[in-house]
Amino acid sequence: MRIGVIGSGALGLYYGALLQRAGHALHFLLRRDFEAISRSGLSVTSPQGDFHLADVQGYKNSSEIGPVDLVLVGLKAYANEHLVELTRPLVAAETTILTLQNGLGNEDLLAGAFGDDSIVGGVAFLCCNRGEPGSVHHLDQGFIRIAEFGKGLSTRVEQLAETFNQAGIPCEACSDLTRVRWEKLVWNIPFNGLCALTDRPTDRLLNCPKTRQLIMEMMQEVVAAANCQGLSELIEGPDFIEQLLHVTVGMGAYCPSMMIDRQQGSPLELAAIYGIPLKRAAEANAAMTRVAMLHALLEATE
């Protein structure tokens, strides 16, 4: 399969490297890593085994890539104003566009430009950071859940999931993209924002009884709002929250992407992770009071 990666950060580089190692033809749109990867290839460190790709196809301009079978979008959602123009040169009649970006609204944007039938959405539960240019460090997790935009389970999504699984990327084909997206928000909303605001990793917040309680209360707000979105099956709040907390404890002193973005002086994905979810919750008459306060504080400190 010919695959183009738009947004070659930690997520795009890691998943793209695994897909290339499995025999697919990968084409990465690169910025800061272009010189290093063109010169020396791409190195991956991982608890599942380190490896190096000596020959990696990298590009500075997406128009140089041309049409592909699959566009894998890992672009930060704060850069979505450029997403359509970056993606367009890669899209032909049979191209599938898979966005693994955070938050809500990404599929809607792509569907508006390329049509609903081209779009698959997904979420990645991945602990991964970029190292020196030309390197990426996989720390933990890596599981992906994908679903059609505006449709139920399809053969295309099942085949795509199998492609990822064969490449060593655990992937589940799902029938309800809205549910998949909101389940990820149950984790993303409290941990990304609170870690960015306090400059403390996840373990520090969970080890403090007051911030642990706040995290749980925010998660409850998100679950309640999610269950007003017409899901095919409601999220079982207490069990799901306990599961997320258990997994997060196992991640140790993890620094979420928004915390790293703030440390590096990059913009935050506030619209996708907070603004749009808050709007959709309000439209369903589901108040997320604590989430709204966190959003306001993040905006005020940008």
Residues that are catalytic: 184
Sign of CA dihedral 75, 80, 81, 87: positive
Q: Is 51 helix (H, G, I), strand (E, B) or coil?
A: strand
Closest by Cα among 229, 266, 115, 248 to 188: 248
Q: Is 3:98 a contact under the CB 8 Å cutoff? A: no
Q: Is 86:62 a contact under the CB 8 Å cutoff? A: yes
Q: How many CB atoms lie within 10 A of CB 212?
A: 13
**Tokens 């679950």 belong to residue:** 223
> What are the C-alpha distances in Å from 270 to residues 23, 61, 197, 226?
36, 27, 12, 18
Closest by Cα among 105, 141, 24 to 72: 24
How far apart are the C-alpha atoms of 261 and 234, rounded to whole Å?
Answer: 32
Q: CA dihedral defined by 17, 143, 129, 257, rounded to 10 degrees?
A: 140
Question: What's phi and psi for 121, nearest 5 deg?
Answer: -110, 160
Give the contacts of 81 (CB within 8 A, at least 6 positions apart). none
